[in-house]
Amino acid sequence: MADYTLDIYKDKRGEFRWRRTASNGEIVGASSESYKAKKDCEANANRDTSGDKWEFYKDKRGESRWRCFSKANGKQVGRASEGFKSPSGCKGNARMNGYTG
């Protein structure tokens, strides 16, 4: 994975979420759901993503984005925090978050 910082924080509801921030300050990935326990959030952020389903798509603005779905239960476990002009930029961002394809 590329150079980033993993942040675990509490959201407005007091539940835990994660986000990855690149060295330039941009958020490059984020959790798709909140967790009541910090250890569950950390486990999700650091989990083995091999076998997960990665979906790449165009958003309403026509920009490329990704979503990751757990191989265990099919729930969405991560997503791009921004749209990308090119599919290759989007896949590069996904690689920072565990995508190996």
Give me the pLDDT at residue 2, please.
Answer: 53
pTM of the model: 0.77
Q: What is the spatial distance between Cα 91 and Cα 80, in angstroms, rounded to a whole number?
A: 10
Residue 91 has pLDDT above 70, yes or no: yes
* pLDDT 10s digits, 2-41: 578 999 999 999 999 999 998 888 888 888 899 999 999 9
Task: For domain 4-96, give the CATH number.
Answer: 2.30.29.80
Question: Which phi and psi angles does 93 have, rounded to 5°?
Answer: -65, -40
Q: How many Cβ atoms sit within 10 Å of the Cβ of residue 94?
A: 27
Residue 97 has pLDDT above 80, yes or no: yes
* pLDDT 10s digits, 30-79: 888 999 999 999 998 988 888 999 999 999 999 999 999 999 899 999 89
Give me the pLDDT at residue 1, please.
Answer: 45
Give me the pLDDT at residue 85, please.
Answer: 95
The domain segmentation of the chain, as residue ranges, is: 4-96
Question: Do β-strands 4-10 and 27-30 pair in parallel, antiparallel, or remain unpaired?
Answer: unpaired
Q: What is the spatial distance between Cα 84 and Cα 57, in angstroms, rounded to a whole number?
A: 10
Question: Which phi and psi angles does 44 have, rounded to 5°?
Answer: -65, -45
Question: Which phi and psi angles does 94 have, rounded to 5°?
Answer: -60, -35
